[in-house]
Structure 1
Amino acid sequence: MTTAAGLSRRHFLRNAGLVGLGALGSSSFLAACATSASNGPVKQAAGAVTVQSNLSSPQAKVAIEALAKAFGDKGGATATVNTVASETFRTQLPSYLTSANPPDTFTWYPGSLLSGYAKKGLLLDVGDVWQTMGNYSQAMRSLSGDGAGHQVFVPTSYYWWGFFYRKSNFAKWGVKPPTNWSEFLALCETLKGKGISPIGLGAGGGTQWTASAWFDYLNIRINGAQFHRDLLAGRGRFDDPKVKKIFDPWRQVLPYTDPNGTALAFQDATTVLLQGKTGMVLTGTFFADAAPKDALDDLDFFQFPILDPSVPVAEEGPTDGFFASARTPHVAEVKEWFKYVATAEAQELYIKNSSGTVLPANPSAKDSGTPLVQKGRKLLNDAKELTQFFNRDSSDALQPTADAALIRFIQKPNELDSILSDWQTAAAKVWQGQS
């Protein structure tokens, strides 16, 4: 059975951790919803839906502006967008939702974050919007619920992660994508011998969370997706020997990682990659929104190498969309906006004006059809299980604990035992506060 995103229903439903679990990451369809950038108070306009958004990649900004314009051109409600940096957005989200004058709606993601806010009565029930979204799958519906029978989220896109590189650079360097871990290490050694930093990182400048992709992939490759989800949900320990084990292969590639990796934001790491100063970057397709249009055809990716063939293959496949404040004075207008962004028309419009590297959530919507997108869709379709991203499968509150631990490991790998012990202590406090 095919779902909204072209993923099998069992792929979504088997991933039980998706339902009621949460996330950070970088939205693609929603990442740069911006008609203006401001960290100041939200300004409400009569009849206008205020959209509080994170990130402002150039192409995504153009795309969301086109979407907002098309919505307004239909007559009736209009939408205005207020953009803040992702890290600011994440830390201020609780304040946004509990303020006396909250934004109407937010770009973010489904999961435990939603159920937590919903339990506090902070999110708008959009079940009647879902009644107009009949072609969306039950899996998408479940992912967008609050765990108590209410729909509080409207999904608009999903995307994949992998090692991205420039095809022209690989050709110039005489190298090919690896098919296993040994070949990956050999590729790194070859690139290093050519004076190139093999692996870009982009875990600085407020985007430390990108390092979590390495943790996620090593854990799902070695210990499996269910162990990973259980760990992030507080049913495991970060100082478990099985968790410590995943840092062995990571330690192998640290000498091949850009030494400036913990100083550059992912947008800057994208620039360095495109300039050929690094060979590849483990990232999500959102990074392409920061790339020049003329570079997109030169981009390709390969799958994170398999480390243990006996472990069912899982991939990261984050979903993005909108949720709304229960305190919005513009309920009718918000629901009008939600009904629009859920349509195939809207999602295709966004894709047309963006880098085109996301997959639409509406099953009737067409993706960009590029070889890169078709390859990404196949990667997710072929996966036995799907995860979202570190804090999408845990909570926004847990992400800073990962940021601190993983950046410290990258910089001081010999302190791993104390790093994991400190991480477990910090994580336990988060889990206790959420119980």
Structure 2
Amino acid sequence: MKKTKNALSMAMVVAVTVTSAACGNGGGSKPAAVTSPDAAASVKPVEAAKAKEFKMTLRHIEVRDTAKSNLAILQDVVKATEAEVPGLKFELDGVEDVVNRDTKLKAEMQAGSPPPIFDLFGGADTTNYAKAGRLLELTPIIAELGLKDKFMNLNEFSVDGKVYGLPRSGFIEGVFYNKKMFAEAGVQVPKTWDEFLKVCEALKAKGITPIAMGGGSGDGWVINMLTNTLMVRLGGPEIQEGFAKGKSKWTDAPVIEAFKKLEELKQKGYLDKNVIATKYADGQAKFYTGQAGMLFDGSWAASGIMGKNSKVADDASFFNFPSMGGPGDDMINGGWSNGYGFSSKLNENELKAVKSFIKNFYTEANQKRALKESGNTPALKLSDIGDAKGLVAEVVQGQVSAKKGAFPAFDALVSPAVKKTLEATMEELLGGKVTPEKAAEKMQAAQTAK
């Protein structure tokens, strides 16, 4: 018994000695050699377990040449998010905005299989998809990330008090104009409808297309930006808010009058004569290549107007559409309709990726960068507008000048079917195929049948 105890004590001393030698390696000495083949076999390098790779589709609409800056921001956010979430690999799926909204995403939602992250339009689209259970509720997530009170407005992405999407930027719509052409025609920024018509006539007399516009070949929504503003100028924001609720009709006097004003612009040759045969991008290009005096467009157009292909970057400016003597004067068409939505069918890893994406995308630095580089109206409340200058600053100032505030795009308030009907109907109106009165009747029939 005594011999066994002594042998055990000696073994313990040897073990301590070997351990001490190995611990001394921190000073630069080599570890003690392992002489036992069995012991050598048991010593293996410890490696960090590699995370299992998983892929996520991210559907975006930054596909035009004028969206390159927006795409660069998105790509930077993707890289940052992949670095934060082990195993994550994004697959970017760029799709033209109308195709995404009206075709691909609609079909995916009906099938219950939208991408994990996708471009989402606020208003009716968000409401319908949320009620169908297709959208991830974001209310607790933005609270967790400290973003709950950081957004300018989440109304278009909220349903029954819960948030289901996040705007990536806002927009305002108004008139871009060529200061040099105005000076040569002897006109100034119009304050009233009559003054606006005189500006158009003066430009036309100089052989200049007064208003560039491409609203054909599936781009009827472009015409409706102007139609929307005319309706609200004459009838106030409540008229478009009342369509879906039955409180107002498309046959109401202010709507018909708006259709008449639009028809007047076409008949007098103030709108591009090829408006219903021209794509949006081509119509927009007519302004920034110096072929038209004005362009009614959204704030997103600033990037193209200031881009490398522009001939009017130094001459372009912006003004809010003039007053028309109605309750909607001194307002501006603006909102926060374009953003990102997230599938309600996410596993644990995908949910982590979504939270990381939101955290990395929605930062003040990114919002200022998008404002400066693309003219994007910030979706977040900013302490300042950074170093944005020139046309971008003027566009943002256009929002500030709207003393009565902003009204949303009508297609955020009506069903997709009504939206599509108005696009086709306004093309018919400008093509001389229907009268303003018949156009209004057609629209009301679509509204009733929705």
Give the TM-score range, shorter chain: 0.7 to 0.9
2:4 match:
none
Q: Specify every segment of 5 or more residues in structure 2 that has no aligned partner in the other structure, as ranges.
A: 1-51
Corresponding pairs, count? 384
CA contact (8 A) 1:125 1:326 kept: yes
8 Å CA contact 1:266, 1:287 repeated in 2: no
| Alignment of 1:318 onto 2:342 | no
* Structure 1: gaps (5+ residues): 1-44, 431-435
CA deviations 1:8-50 (Å, max 9, x no partner) are xxxxxxxxxxxxxxxxxxxxxxxxxxxxxxxxxxxxx954442
Q: 1:82 to 1:407 in 2, by over 3 A?
A: same
Q: 1:367 Cα deviation (Å)?
A: 5.1
Equivalent in 139, 149, 165 of residue 153 of structure 1: 165
Question: TM-score of the superposition, structure 2-length normalised?
Answer: 0.78
AA partner of residue 321 (structure 1): G
**Do 2:235 and 2:328's aligned partners in 1 also have CA atoms closer than 8 Å?**
yes
Residues 1:327 and 2:325 are matched in the alignment: no
1:339 is aligned to: 359
What is the rounded CA distance, in whole Å, between the counterparts of 1:218 and 1:232 in structure 2? Answer: 19
Structure 1 residue 304 corresponds to structure 2 residue 321:
yes
Q: Distance in 1 between matches of 2:256 and 2:77?
A: 50
Q: Distance in 1 between matches of 2:360 and 2:383?
A: 14
Q: Is the 8 Å Cα contact of residues 173 and 297 (structure 2) preserved in structure 1?
A: yes
5 Å matches for 1:349-428? 349-352=369-372, 354-364=373-383, 366=385, 368-381=387-400, 382-412=402-432, 415-428=435-448
Does the aligned pair in 2 maintain the 1:216–1:389 contact within 8 Å?
yes
Secondary structure of the structure 2 residue equivalent to 1:51: strand
Query: Displacement of 1:272 after TM fit?
Result: 1.0
1:218 correspondence with 2:230: yes
Report which stretch shifted further, 200-209 or 247-256. Answer: 247-256
Partner of 2:294: 280
Whether 1:203 aligns to 2:215 is yes
SS of the residue corresponding to residue 414 of structure 2 reads: coil
Report the Cα distance in structure 1 between the residues aligned to 2:245 and 2:317, rounded to whole angstroms.
Answer: 33
Q: What is the aligned counterpart of 1:91 among 102, 108, 124?
A: 102
Give the aligned partner of residue 61 of structure 1: 68
Alignment of 1:135-146 (within 5 A): 136=149, 140-146=153-159
2:84 is aligned, of 68, 72, 76, to 76
* Bigger Rg, structure 1 or 2: 2
The 3 A distance-change label for structure 1 pair 150 and 200 is: same
**Alpha-carbon shift at residue 407 of structure 1 (Å):** 1.1
Alpha-carbon spacing, 1:341–1:48, altered in 2? closer, same or farther (3 Å): farther
**1:144-176 Cα distance to aligned partner (Å, 9 max, x none):** 3222x3221122311211111233333344432
Stretch deviating more after TM superposition (335-344 or 118-127) = 335-344
Post-superposition CA distance 1:242-298 (Å, at most 9, x none) = 321223332332221111111112211121112322221111022233345254443
The 1:183/1:124 distance shift into structure 2, 3 A limit, reads: same
State the identity as a percent.
24
Q: Give the Å deviation of 1:188.
A: 0.9
Comparing 176-185 with 66-75, which one deviates more in the overlay? 66-75
For the Cα contact (< 8 Å) 1:103–1:328, is it kept in 2? no
- RMSD over aligned Cα atoms: 2.6
SS class of match (1:246): helix
Counterpart check, 1:262 vs 2:272: no
Q: Cα offset for 1:239? A: 1.9
Higher RCO (C-alpha 8 Å, min separation 6)? 1
- Residues in 2 aligned to 1:205 and 1:414: alpha-carbon distance in whole angstroms: 18
Q: What is the CA–CA distance in structure 2 between the aligned matches of 1:234 and 1:48, rounded to whole Å?
A: 45
- One-letter identity of the residue aligned with 2:149: Y
Taking structure 1 as the reference length, what is the TM-score of the superposition?
Answer: 0.80
2:323 is paired with a residue whose SS is coil
Against the structure 1 CA distance between its residues 80 and 167, is the aligned structure 2 distance closer, same or farther, given a 3 Å change threshold?
A: farther
Q: Does 1:231 align with 2:243?
A: yes
Q: In 2, are the aligned partners of 1:225 and 1:385 still within 8 Å (CA)?
A: no
